[in-house]
Amino acid sequence: MYTAQNSGARASTRSPSRSSSGSGSRPSTGGRLSSDGRRGGNSRQQPRGQQSRGQSRALRNKKFIHPSKFIRVATVTEKVDYVSENSFEDFSLNAKILANVIKKGYTNPSPIQDKTIPLAMEGKDVVGIANTGTGKTAAFVLPIIHDLIHNMDHQAIILAPTRELAQQIQEECIVFSRDCGIRTALLIGGASMNIQIRDLRRNPRIIIGTPGRTKDHLQQRNLNLSKISIAVLDEFDRMLDMGFIRDITSIFSGMPRDRQSLFFSATMEGEVEKQIRKFSRDPVTVSVRESVTVDSVNQDVIFYRERDEKIDKLHDLLISSGRGKTIIFDDTKHAVERLSRTLVARGFKADRIHGNKSQAQRSRAIKRLKDSDIDILVATDVAARGIDVSDISHVINYSQPNTYEDYVHRIGRTGRAGNTGNAFTFLQKE
**pLDDT per residue over 177-198, tens digit each?**
999 999 999 999 989 999 999 9
What interhelical angle do 163-176 and 95-104 show, nearest 10? 120
| DSSP result, 15-81 | -TTGGGG---PPPSS--PPP-S-TTTT--SPPPHHHHHHHHHHHHHH-----GGGG-B-----PPPP
Q: How far is CA 191 from CA 40, 159, 167, 210, in A?
A: 8, 16, 11, 12
Q: Name the pLDDT band for 430 (thresholds 50, 70, 90).
A: confident
Which pLDDT does position 426 carry in this prediction?
Answer: 97
| DSSP result, 378-399 | EE-GGGTTT---TTEEEEEESS
The helix/strand/coil state of 368 is: helix
- Asked if 365 contacts 353 with a C-beta cutoff of 8 angstroms, the reply is yes
Specify the amino acid at residue 36: D
Q: Which residues of 198-227 are buried (b: 16+ CB within 10 A; e: fewer)?
A: ebbeeebbbbbbbbbbbbbbbeeebbebee
CA angle 45/49/54 to nearest 5° reads 75
Which pLDDT does position 417 carry in this prediction?
Answer: 66
pTM of the shown model: 0.72
Radius of gyration of the chain (CA): 22
**pLDDT per residue over 261-293, tens digit each?**
999 987 787 888 899 999 999 999 999 876 555
pLDDT value at 60 more than 60: no
Fold match, 18-76+295-428 / 88-287? yes
- Asked if 429 contacts 305 with a C-beta cutoff of 8 angstroms, the reply is yes
Which pLDDT does position 385 carry in this prediction?
Answer: 61
Greater model confidence, 306 or 403: 306
Q: Name the pLDDT band for 124 (thresholds 50, 70, 90).
A: very high
Least-confidence region, from 51-55, 91-95, 398-402 = 51-55
CATH number 3.30.465.10 given to 88-287: no
Q: How far is CA 393 from CA 4, 314, 323, 328, 421, in A?
A: 20, 15, 6, 11, 5
The dihedral through the CA atoms of 250, 253, 259, 263 has a sign that is positive
What is the DSSP code (8-state) at residue 293? S
pLDDT value at 42 more than 60: no
Cβ-proximal residues to 261 (8 Å cutoff; 6+ apart), any chain? 125, 230, 231, 232, 233, 279, 280, 281, 283
Q: In this structure, how many other beta carbons lie within 10 angstroms of the beta carbon of residue 389?
A: 15
Which pLDDT does position 293 carry in this prediction?
Answer: 52
Which pLDDT does position 408 carry in this prediction?
Answer: 84
Which pLDDT does position 190 carry in this prediction?
Answer: 85
Q: In this structure, how many other beta carbons lie within 10 angstroms of the beta carbon of residue 171?
A: 15
Cβ-proximal residues to 356 (8 Å cutoff; 6+ apart), any chain? 34, 37, 43, 45, 333
How far apart CA 361 and CA 77 sit, in angstroms, is 39
Least-confidence region, from 37-41, 103-107, 306-310, 373-377 = 37-41
pLDDT value at 118 more than 80: yes
Q: Name the pLDDT band for 386 (thresholds 50, 70, 90).
A: low
How far apart CA 364 and CA 150 sit, in angstroms, is 37
- In whole numbers, what is the pLDDT of the chain averaged over residues? 83
State the DSSP H helix or E strand holding residue 231, giving kind and residue range, or none if neither: strand 228-234
Greater model confidence, 68 or 259: 259
The domain spans of the chain are: 18-76+295-428, 88-287
What is the pLDDT averaged over residues 199-226?
97
State the DSSP H helix or E strand holding residue 286, giving kind and residue range, or none if neither: strand 284-287
Share of the chain above pLDDT 90, in %: 60
What is the pLDDT averaged over residues 386-400?
88
How far apart CA 24 and CA 249 sit, in angstroms, is 40
- Asked if 171 contacts 122 with a C-beta cutoff of 8 angstroms, the reply is no
How far apart CA 52 and CA 56 sit, in angstroms, is 6
pLDDT value at 83 more than 60: yes
The strand pairing partners of 299, in sequence order, are: 72, 423
- Asked if 214 contacts 200 with a C-beta cutoff of 8 angstroms, the reply is no
**pLDDT per residue over 332-360, tens digit each?**
999 999 999 999 999 999 999 988 888 78
Question: What is 18-76+295-428's CATH number, 3.30.2130.10, 3.40.190.10, 3.40.50.300, 3.90.180.10?
Answer: 3.40.50.300
pLDDT value at 56 more than 90: no
pLDDT value at 39 more than 70: no
Which pLDDT does position 265 carry in this prediction?
Answer: 87
The strand pairing partners of 428, in sequence order, are: 304
Of 162-166, 218-222, 362-366, which has the strongest mean pLDDT?
Answer: 218-222
How far apart CA 293 and CA 312 sit, in angstroms, is 29
pLDDT value at 44 more than 50: no
pLDDT value at 377 more than 60: yes
How far apart CA 334 and CA 378 sit, in angstroms, is 11
Q: How many residues does the chain have?
A: 430
Q: In this structure, how many other beta carbons lie within 10 angstroms of the beta carbon of residue 1?
A: 12
pLDDT value at 136 more than 70: yes
Least-confidence region, from 90-94, 219-223, 241-245 = 241-245
What is the pLDDT averaged over residues 242-251?
93
How far apart CA 9 and CA 15 sit, in angstroms, is 17
Q: Name the pLDDT band for 6 (thresholds 50, 70, 90).
A: very low
Least-confidence region, from 68-82, 147-161, 389-403 = 68-82
